[in-house]
Structure 1
Amino acid sequence: MINKAMGQAEYEAFKAKLREWMEAHPEEYAAFEESMNTRDMAGCQAVLLQAIALIPQYRKLTAAKANEGLFNHVNEIEQAAQDNDLARKLIGECEQPVAGSPVPAMLCWLYFGKSFERMVEHCEELRRTPELGYFQKITMSATIRLLIARSIKLGLRTREEWKAHREAMRLAESDQVLDWAMEESSSDKNDSKRKPGRPGATRSLTEMFAPTVSRPEELRRKIGTYLLTRHTQTDIARLKIALEELRYLTLPIPIKPFRDALQEEYGREIRIVHERGIQEAYSRLTEPLLAGKSVRDRGPEAVAIREIKDFLSETNSFNSSE
């Protein structure tokens, strides 16, 4: 909705400002994200109250929408948001934030956090609540479908990412977690085996940076900030492509040592996914298309990778002048 109220350049600048706010207010953002992760849905209630304050008829419209059953759009709510100039109000609160306002953290969470995943999970938990009747369960089902469809349409998620998240949710509900954990441990153990006479030569992340990177510590910090909110297999594949296109890496670097370097650098705070998933995502993104292009050069993927490149290279280039 906000992107519709702006030109593309203005929209990209707005998202860059959100990232700056996020970096400057890590504790405030972390507190908001934690509130959205709790089962009591305290954060969701705060967002709902904010929506009602910005769109007075919001509660009435959502109630009417729920009565439709398996709805597949929220055009009426979007129109009300437009009529109430919601986008400009949100932008204004970000540019001139009021003390205690949740808006900056909320927008950062929506754009850069696991917002869609958490909302889908909350809806699924509600849908499975025994006390709910069919009416509420139908509403939750429709909401889940709409959230997933909208996230894909906006280019904020891919179908592959939703499939992976669905499997993670199924695993969490199953009795197979121990088997899965042991399988992962076995894979890690096998991957760490060395052939006789060929000791492994591991490199740290900064050792993988190209010699022209003049500020390796700053680049390392930027990568860490990115991974705090973007660490799926596709996120990491996009990160590697962005670093390669910026010529920040000594080429070529295979997926496994790159993933291992990220694990060594950030593994205490961030769960770095297995290299198999990263390799699959990387192969998909670099799959050739017509006219010499690849998947990464088209549509939402091109936009996502460009955003990463802008974030990694903003303020000043890390490359020393030639």
Structure 2
Amino acid sequence: MKIQPGTITHERFKELIKEWLDSHREEYCAFANEVSGRDRQGFQVIFQYAQIIAPQYASALMSHIADGGEDSIGSLEKVLADADIGTSILNDFQSGNPESIAPAMLAWLYFGQSWEVMVAYNEELIQEKSSGFLSRCMARLIIRAAIKRSIALGHRTKEDWEKFRKVQKSMGLTLPVTDSTMPEFENDIEFDNDIEAEDTVADTTEEAATSEKKEEAIKMPAQRGRKRIRKPLEELIPTNTDKIIDGIARVIRQHSKGNHLALLFIFLKEGSHIEDCDITTFHDALNEKFTEHKFVGVRSVQKAHNELLMPMGGGKRIIDIGQSKKDFEMITQLFEKAVA
């Protein structure tokens, strides 16, 4: 009989996951190996699943990082709660669908080295030369959240994490974020309360910082920025000008939010349909060409562009996975139909 949400205790659900694990060892080991792999393909699979059950999560996470969010993850947890991911995961666990990763993922989260792998993976990501600033910030957030939440939930103890540090260092690995996080727990604080307090402190600090920045803005004289380059759209398109403009027009008539314009810009640049330029130049050219259309501000497009190109490991970016990939394919198809 199918279990309905809210009709089973957490401990009973954990028992069901253990029963699945005991009867599906081979499937579980395959998943655990994939998640632990050097190519990090397993994490991309989990991220894609998260995109399916909580479509707004990736955008919320990237916005949190891009806006300089600190350790407070209350807003991110709210996105997951609003998406009712518990019901989705429970249904997937019971579906019997061999393509679903839910059973193996839950078994790994409850009974595998999930917390340790998450921390080790992101410590490595921080130290990779190819990792950008936002990627490193996101990795730091995940490490600190993983350590704090694992202790708060009773899944790990401080001693478990100290042992993890020793084992990792015995293999010659460095753990800068873990090392800087552990001393915070020396006084055996109540971690649930600590996390709530961090949310309050973060909010207060953010308000104070915003107020301080406003005061500085009033005091500081305006500074000269880079000279803005303006070019007509026709000058940005080296070949097949009319066809390319038709394709652009087809896309923006149907989809013109910041995310869509960023996807269109990436498509045009990667396909060599426009010359090398920045988003501001492209945005100005669109406004000049399509005067009847009201576009979103350039900052919205720039923010979406940065999020979409954020590396996720294994040579992939946000744009290459989940809903972002589907949106990119949609933009591509619309454009190609117009120029065919």
TM-score of the aligned structures, taking structure 2 as reference length: 0.48
Aligned partners of 1:22 and 1:29 also within 8 Å: yes
Name the residue aligned to 2:143: 144
The count of corresponding residues between Structure 1 and Structure 2 is: 171
Aligned partners of 1:66 and 1:139 also within 8 Å: yes
CA–CA separation in structure 1 for the residues paired with 2:36 and 2:90: 25
How far the C-alpha of 1:95 sits from its partner, in A, is 2.1
Name the residue aligned to 1:171: 170
How far the C-alpha of 1:174 sits from its partner, in A, is 6.1
Q: Which structure would you say has the larger Rg?
A: 2
Aligned partners of 1:28 and 1:105 also within 8 Å: yes
CA–CA separation in structure 2 for the residues paired with 1:138 and 1:59: 15
How far the C-alpha of 1:138 sits from its partner, in A, is 2.6
CA–CA separation in structure 1 for the residues paired with 2:119 and 2:23: 29
Give the AA of the match of 2:57.
Answer: Y
CA–CA separation in structure 1 for the residues paired with 2:160 and 2:146: 14
How far the C-alpha of 1:135 sits from its partner, in A, is 3.3
Question: Which 5+ residue runs of structure 2 have no aligned equivalent?
Answer: 175-340
Q: Higher relative contact order at CA 8 Å, sep ≥6: structure 1 or structure 2?
A: 2
CA–CA separation in structure 1 for the residues paired with 2:92 and 2:22: 18
For 1:106-255, what aligned pairs fall within 5 Å after superposition?
A: 106-173=105-172
Aligned partners of 1:69 and 1:139 also within 8 Å: no
How far the C-alpha of 1:85 sits from its partner, in A, is 1.2
CA–CA separation in structure 1 for the residues paired with 2:173 and 2:140: 21
Give the AA of the match of 1:171.
Answer: S
How far the C-alpha of 1:158 sits from its partner, in A, is 0.3
Question: Which 5+ residue runs of structure 1 have no aligned equivalent?
Answer: 176-322
Q: Kindly tell me: are residues 36 and 174 of structure 1, through their superposed partners in 2, closer, same or farther at Cα, counting changes over 3 Å?
A: closer
CA–CA separation in structure 2 for the residues paired with 1:36 and 1:20: 21
How far the C-alpha of 1:6 sits from its partner, in A, is 5.0
Name the residue aligned to 1:78: 77
For 1:12-23, what aligned pairs fall within 5 Å after superposition?
A: 12-23=11-22
CA–CA separation in structure 1 for the residues paired with 2:10 and 2:61: 28
CA–CA separation in structure 2 for the residues paired with 1:115 and 1:174: 18
| 1:87 has 2:86 as partner | yes
CA–CA separation in structure 2 for the residues paired with 1:123 and 1:159: 19
Q: Deviations over 1:193-240 (max 9, x none)?
A: xxxxxxxxxxxxxxxxxxxxxxxxxxxxxxxxxxxxxxxxxxxxxxxx
Q: Kindly tell me: are residues 73 and 6 of structure 1, through their superposed partners in 2, closer, same or farther at Cα, counting changes over 3 Å?
A: farther
Q: Kindly tell me: are residues 99 and 135 of structure 1, through their superposed partners in 2, closer, same or farther at Cα, counting changes over 3 Å?
A: closer
CA–CA separation in structure 2 for the residues paired with 1:86 and 1:158: 26
Give the AA of the match of 1:163.
Answer: E
Give the AA of the match of 1:164.
Answer: K
CA–CA separation in structure 1 for the residues paired with 2:38 and 2:141: 21
Name the residue aligned to 1:24: 23
How far the C-alpha of 1:168 sits from its partner, in A, is 1.1
Q: Kindly tell me: are residues 174 and 123 of structure 1, through their superposed partners in 2, closer, same or farther at Cα, counting changes over 3 Å?
A: closer
Aligned partners of 1:69 and 1:135 also within 8 Å: no
CA–CA separation in structure 2 for the residues paired with 1:19 and 1:79: 28
Name the residue aligned to 1:10: 9
Q: Kindly tell me: are residues 68 and 172 of structure 1, through their superposed partners in 2, closer, same or farther at Cα, counting changes over 3 Å?
A: farther
How far the C-alpha of 1:99 sits from its partner, in A, is 2.1
Give the AA of the match of 1:39.
Answer: R
CA–CA separation in structure 2 for the residues paired with 1:31 and 1:116: 18
Please give the secondary structure, in 2, of the residue aligned with 1:82.
helix
Name the residue aligned to 2:102: 103
Please give the secondary structure, in 2, of the residue aligned with 1:152.
helix
| 1:53 has 2:73 as partner | no
Name the residue aligned to 2:188: none
Q: Deviations over 1:105-159 (max 9, x none)?
A: 0011001100000010000110010122333223222221111001000000000
For 1:291-306, what aligned pairs fall within 5 Å after superposition?
A: none
How far the C-alpha of 1:24 sits from its partner, in A, is 0.9
CA–CA separation in structure 2 for the residues paired with 1:144 and 1:90: 24
Give the AA of the match of 2:159.
Answer: E
% same residue: 32
Name the residue aligned to 1:259: none
Please give the secondary structure, in 2, of the residue aligned with 1:98.
coil
Aligned partners of 1:69 and 1:142 also within 8 Å: no
How far the C-alpha of 1:10 sits from its partner, in A, is 1.2
Please give the secondary structure, in 2, of the residue aligned with 1:108.
helix
Aligned-pair Cα RMSD in Å: 2.1
**Runs of 4+ off more than 3 Å:** none
Please give the secondary structure, in 1, of the residue aligned with 2:17.
helix
Name the residue aligned to 1:62: 61
Give the AA of the match of 2:50.
Answer: A
How far the C-alpha of 1:171 sits from its partner, in A, is 1.5
